[in-house]
Copies of this chain bind each other. A is one copy, B any other.
Amino acid sequence: MSNISIKDDEVDIVIGALEPDLTYFLEEWRPVFSRFHLIIVKDPDLKGELKIPEGFNLNIYTKSDIDRVVGSSPISFSGYSCRYFGYLMSRKKYIISIDDDCIPARDSKGGLIDAVAQHITNLTTPATPFFFNTLYDPYCEGADFVRGYPFSLRTGVDCGLSSGLWLNLADYDAPTQALKPENRNSRYVDAVLTVPAGTMMPLSGINIGFNSELVGPALVPAFRLAKEGKFRWETVEDIWSGMCVKVVCDHLKLGVKSGKPYVWRKERGSAIESLKKEWEGVKLMEEVIPFFQSIRFSEEAKTAEDCVAEIASLVKEQLGPLNPMFARAADTTVEWIKLWKRVRAQ
Q: Chain A interface (Cβ within 8 Å of chain B)?
A: 131-136, 140, 142-153, 163, 165, 170-173, 176, 180, 183, 185-191, 195-204, 232-233, 236, 239, 242, 258, 282, 285-286, 289
Contacts and interface: CB of A to CB of B under 8 A. Distances in A.
A197 B239 CA distance: 21
A55 to B, nearest CB: 34
Contact of A233 (B132, B143, B147): B147
B151 A201 contact: no
Contacts of A190: 187-190
A84 to B, nearest CB: 17
A233 B146 CA distance: 10
A130 to B, nearest CB: 9
Contact of A134 (B163, B186, B188): B163
Contacts of A147: 171-173, 176, 202, 204, 232-233, 236, 239
A131 B198 contact: no
B258 A134 contact: yes
A140 B163 CA distance: 21
A202 B142 contact: no
A148 B236 contact: yes
A185 B147 CA distance: 14
8 contacts: A134-B201, A134-B203, A135-B170, A147-B172, A149-B173, A195-B196, A196-B196, A197-B199
Contact of A198 (B134, B198, B203): B198
Contacts of A242: 148
A258 B132 contact: yes
Nearest to A143: B187
B152 A286 contact: yes
A318 B133 CA distance: 26
A199 to B, nearest CB: 4
Contacts of A236: 147-148
Contact of A286 (B133, B151, B233): B151
Nearest to A235: B147
A331 to B, nearest CB: 23
A284 B142 CA distance: 27
B173 A135 contact: no
Contacts of A148: 173, 202-204, 236, 239, 242, 285
Given A286-B152, A289-B150, A165 B200 contact: no
